[in-house]
Amino acid sequence: MRAEAKGSIVKFRFFSLFCLFLFFPGFSSFAQQGNSRPWWYTLEQGKFYFRGGEYGNALLSFEDARRQRRAMYERMEKDFIDFLSMSEVRRLGDSLERVEAYAAERLYANVSAALAELYGRVPRESLSNSAAAALSALGALKDYPEAEYWIGETYRTEGELGLALGQFQKAYEMRGLFENPDSDLYLLYRIADIRRIRQDYNEMERTLLLILARDTLWSEESGSFAKSAMLRTLENEGVNRFLSLYRYNNTAVEAAHRLLGFYYYASGRHSRAEEHLMFAFLIQNTIIIEELIRRDYDYAFTGLSELSGGITRNPLLSGYVSETEYYRTAYYLGTSLFGAGKPGPARAFWAFLAGTGEAGEWQNRARAQLSGPGVDRAIEMP
């Protein structure tokens, strides 16, 4: 049985996915009166300052972009309200088609431009041919979650975690307006990270579980059978058999599983830690194996010890295992198995790490476990 990936195939550095969050909004068809540069350009200018370490100028630019966008859509909203309030337009009823045709026929250029802008950002069919729905959608576009995010990111970089958290939460509330539909996922990771740093672990857990609601293999009933089968294989047949049977490349949720696994281990919930670390380790190894196959079509997984050699010879994979805490994940997955009463498969993980020089600290810890196995003291969250 195989658990096939349900997410998109993702590049090998998870947090490089955050570059998707360097939003490039489309060109606005509606000219901004009184501004030589539109709001999306001002946002990009802020990113330029941010990347250059000019955080004061970056913050000013992001705030200007937010004001410019709000002013533009407020103006469009007012123009549309004034138009809909005209007695001859009111007689047309709520038909958006008739209202739009009337604006074009009578040369109400601002109204036509506002509707063109709206259609460029909201699917026309979602408005159900309703002028009222168009007005509501136009008003909602005043919010600018990308600017709110970048304001928060500037605060975070400068160590103002409370202000950053407020901005990220505000942007998350506006998530329906993001240009990139997956942007709210990266916001949740930012929020969870601040909760972790501030040791607000209950809220960190809640936020990470929100991310895992998107992991259909984890969260949906249809995945419960597969998850149970995976656990049985890992516990009864060992890690090499487990990785021979299963693949799962939903890297968007790998960090959430990993961080929850560490958290549950630290709080003594070894069975829950085992489940999440199993998913994280499976995703990590799926990406590693897929990369090795990409380079050598005839490659076939035979065991973790052999796999570590392929990692060492590939700089890209070496960077990936560092970023995803691959050896740390393997160690605590093994030790969680031991804590859950499964010493046999736990020793297989420790043996793998004990023979892997690249594992560093985790090699030493694994060797100590092989000499005298036990549950480590509660770890601190990284």
Specify the pLDDT at position 382: 56
Name residue, tokens 């304001």: 151
Q: CA-CA distance, 382 to 378, in Å (whole number)?
A: 12
Closest CA to 108 of 142, 85, 136: 85
Instruction: Please give the Cα distance from 49 to 61 (Å, whole number).
Output: 9
Predicted confidence at residue 1, as pLDDT, reads 43
pTM, to two decimals:
0.84
pLDDT tens-digit readout, 88-123: 999 999 999 999 999 999 999 999 999 999 999 999
**Which residue do the tokens 């259909």 mark?**
216
Among 211, 215, 283, smallest CA distance to 251 is for 283
Reading the block at residue 144, the tokens are 């600018």
Handedness of CA 80, 82, 87, 93 (dihedral sign): positive
Looking at residue 379, what is its pLDDT? Answer: 61
Give the pLDDT score at 375.
86
Contact between 308 and 356 under an 8 Å Cβ cutoff? The reply is yes
Q: What is the pLDDT of residue 308?
A: 86
Residue 229 to residues 7, 144, 207, 244, 246, Cα–Cα distance (Å): 20, 45, 27, 14, 10
Mean pLDDT of successive 10-residue stretches along the chain, which has 382 residues: 38 36 39 63 96 97 96 96 96 96 95 95 94 95 96 97 97 92 92 96 96 86 79 95 95 96 95 96 96 90 89 91 96 96 95 94 95 77 58
Q: Is 134 in contact with 96 (CB distance < 8 Å)?
A: yes
Task: Give strand pairing partners of 95.
Answer: 130
